Amino acid sequence: MKKVILAFLVFSFCNAFAQEDAWVYFADKPDTESFFTNPLSFFTERAINRRLQQNIALDSKDVPISESYVATVENSSGIVVLAKSRWFNAVHVRGSVDDINALQNLTFVSEIDFANSNLNASGRFQQSLVNKHNTEALTDFSYGFANAQIQQINGQVVHQSDFTGTGKIIAVLDSGFPGVFTAAPFERLVNNNRILGTYNYVTRETNVANNSSHGTAVLSTMGGFIENQYAGTAPDAEYYLFVTEDVASENPVEESLWVEAAEEADRLGVDVINTSLGYFQYDNASYSYTFADMNGETAFISRGADIAFSRGMIVVVSAGNSGGSSTPNISAPADAQHAFTIGAVDNQGNLASFSSVGPTADNRIKPDVVARGVTAAVIGPTGSVSGANGTSFSAPIVSGMITSLWQALPNFTNQQIMDLIRNTASSAANPQNTIGYGIPNFGNALQNGLTTTDFTKNTVQVFPNPFSNQLSMSQIEETTHLDVFTVEGKRIYQALVTENTSLDTANWSKGIYLFVFHQNGSTTIKKLIKN
């Protein structure tokens, strides 16, 4: 009996003091009103413009998390806050089960979700989420080592049409970027100020060069350049480099760090997120996922990827490298409904043995497309080129080309770009859960996009801009309907307009307005600012 009691006491002690990870969700955002009064105090103008272009309104997910709530949690007994999220209005904490559960006593805490689903009364937490150019050959790279992987997806056609990512921004979320600021193949980026910023979310510093070189190789497939020897798929794009992966351990906090970085990418106006990371099994087996969890609605990072999409970004994700294992399925966030998931093939277009496969747990086609991931040409920290295997490299090869394509089709939404790529891929007529829609053909995607006039027509003129008390219009066709929205998505005006229409805007508040013209089956969007 004494042994039984002793065992019980030891178990109770361990249960009380063992450190666990959990997400703590807040009930509200007290600063909502002040945010919507002046969203540009938080978001960059580029971020607002990306939404306006795609007719995406600001909503409560965009409001910053309450720092006073975060501070209260941080000051609670036994609690360490490791990450925070405005999209989820939540913080990632670590502490004992008792100390974490005690946070329920805070009036602003609405829910606690332990990473160990056995500690939650209802198992894993799930949450449903939403919702003409010159084509003359101007840029003719000698791709060298990268030739095969770019020609396999017909990407050279996009570059030859002078679309190389200029004016678009990619955020790379990875494990480290040593050599990026010192190796010659990245000088084109560095010397032209195309690395816009860096941050290490693991160590909370700007240095991203003291970790794994995985991110360096990933970046090289997009932004690397060696004259006559190598060119990435988006050599003239701009980049943010974010470290979210802790190579020393595998823990759910990395999902939270990823979401935090994705939120910053959103705030900064990023167009494309590339992540060659995936999560399924953790060091603590109690935190690991099962295939049933790969439904796009369970993993924190997957839900975050879908929110990133809803903000107007394209999130490109590696399918994973477990194809030859006992768990060959894709990992999170590759299971997200709106993630653009990339598998790997060899130089002959055959599926790589390691490439993770679908479907998702809710029976959706994954991956979306495939690209070169067997002996893909990558560049390391010293500037040398080598061959590497993994969906880690097929994903950024596609990311960069998506970015260059989007430069050519700036009026397309993120969904339209993704649909265009799927529909012109090699297996579009018969998508499969091994290669998805197949190998993309970016040359065909470009041609199809440029002939889709509904998205390229933009002749309506509204002036002056910025404006004060009066607005005039020109090049208005008959039966044109105009809707005017505030940056928050509130419609303040709607009417049929003509060449002679003049708007009295004296009573409008200062700020950004979205003018949406519908005429003859096409839609034209204009952004105007009132001083």
Q: pLDDT band for position 261 (50/70/90)?
A: very high
DSSP state of 17: H
pTM: 0.83
CA–CA gap between residue 63 and residue 57 (Å, rounded): 12
Concerning whether 214 is annotated as a catalytic residue, the answer is yes
Tell me how far apart the alpha carbons of residues 55 and 57 are, in angstroms, rounded to a whole number: 6
Q: Give me the helix-helix angle, 391-408 and 414-423, nearest 10°.
A: 110
Instruction: Specify the higher pLDDT residue, 313 or 6.
Output: 313
- High-pLDDT (> 70) share of the chain, %: 91
Q: Is 195:237 a contact under the CB 8 Å cutoff? A: no
Catalytic residue check, 174: yes
Does residue 314 have a pLDDT over 80? yes
Q: Which of the residues 310, 392, 394, 404 is marked catalytic?
A: 392
Catalytic residue among 214, 318, 338, 404: 214
The predicted pLDDT at position 14 comes to 44
One-character DSSP codes across 340-409 = EEEEEE-TTSPBPTT--B---TT-----SEEEE-SSEEEE-TTS-EEEE-SHHHHHHHHHHHHHHHHHH-
Q: Extract the tokens encoding 326.
A: 């006992």
Among 183-197, 314-328, 494-508, the range scoring the smallest mean pLDDT is 494-508
Of the candidate ranges 1-5, 40-44, 451-455, 470-474, the one whose mean pLDDT is the lowest: 1-5
99, 162, 174, 346: the active-site residue: 174
Strand-pair partners of 387: 377
Structure confidence at residue 123 (pLDDT): 56
Burial class (CB in 10 A: 0-12, 13-18, 19+), 265: buried
Q: CA 163 to CA 177: how far, in whole Å?
A: 26
Closest CA to 459 of 407, 412, 525, 408: 525
Mean pLDDT of 274-285: 96
| DSSP percent split of the chain into helix, strand, coil, nearest 5 | 30, 25, 45
Task: Please state, as a whole number, how many other Cβ atoms lie within 10 Å of the Cβ of residue 133.
Answer: 15
Burial annotation 340-360 (CB, 10 A radius, 16+ → b, else e): bbbbbbbeeeebbebbbbbeb
Look at the chain and count its residues: 531
The residue behind tokens 């965009």 is 62
Question: 499 with 432: CB under 8 angstroms?
Answer: no
- What residues contact 375, with CB distance under 8 A and at least 6 apart? 346, 347, 387, 388, 389
Q: What is the pLDDT of residues 85-142, one digit of tens each?
A: 999 999 999 999 999 999 999 999 999 999 999 998 765 555 443 332 232 333 557 8
Could you say which of 3.40.50.200, 3.40.1160.10, 3.10.450.50, 3.50.50.60 is the CATH number of the domain covering 147-453?
A: 3.40.50.200
Between 26 and 57, where is the model more confident? 26
**CB under 8 Å to 496, separation ≥6 — which residues?**
479, 480, 481, 482
What pLDDT is recorded for position 136? 32
Write down the pLDDT at residue 132: 29
Residues with Cβ within 8 Å of 180's Cβ and at least 6 positions away in sequence, in order, are 186, 189, 190, 195, 208, 209, 216, 219, 241, 381
pLDDT at 438 over 50: yes
Q: Are 244 and 177 a contacting pair, CB within 8 Å?
A: no
DSSP of 239-257: EEEEE---TT---THHHHH
Q: Return the structure tokens found at 344.
A: 């790997």
Cβ burial 440-452 (10 Å sphere, 16+ → b, else e): bbbbbbbeebbee
Task: Pull the structure tokens for residue 334.
Answer: 């590759």
pLDDT tens per residue across span 406-424? 999 998 999 999 999 999 9
Mean pLDDT over the full length of the chain: 89
Segment 164-192, tens digit of pLDDT: 999 999 999 999 999 999 999 999 999 99
Q: What is the mean pLDDT of residues 512-522?
A: 78
pLDDT per position as a tens digit, 383-394: 999 999 999 999
Residue 199, number of CB atoms within 10 A of its CB: 19
Q: Can 392 be counted among the known catalytic residues?
A: yes
Q: Are strands 522-530 and 511-519 parallel, antiparallel or unpaired?
A: antiparallel
Closest to 148 in 3D by CA, of 397, 471, 457, 502: 397
Q: How far apart are CA 225 and CA 189, in angstroms?
A: 9
pLDDT band at 355 (very low <50, low <70, confident <90, very high): very high
Would you list the domain boundaries of the chain? 2-119, 147-453, 461-530
Note whether 513 and 484 are within 8 A (CB).
yes
CA dist 515 and 485 (Å) reads 7
Task: Summarize the confidence of residues 515-519 as an average pLDDT.
Answer: 80
CATH architecture for the domain at 2-119: 2-Layer Sandwich (3.30)
Q: 341 pLDDT exceeds 90? A: yes
In whole angstroms, give the CA distance from residue 504 to residue 480: 18
CATH topology of domain 461-530: Immunoglobulin-like (2.60.40)
Residue type, 415: Q
Record the tokens describing residue 53, joined without a space. 């272009």
Name the amino acid, one letter, at 88. Answer: F
Say what the alpha-carbon torsion angle 419, 423, 424, 429 is, to the nearest 10 degrees.
160
Say what the pLDDT of residue 17 is. 57
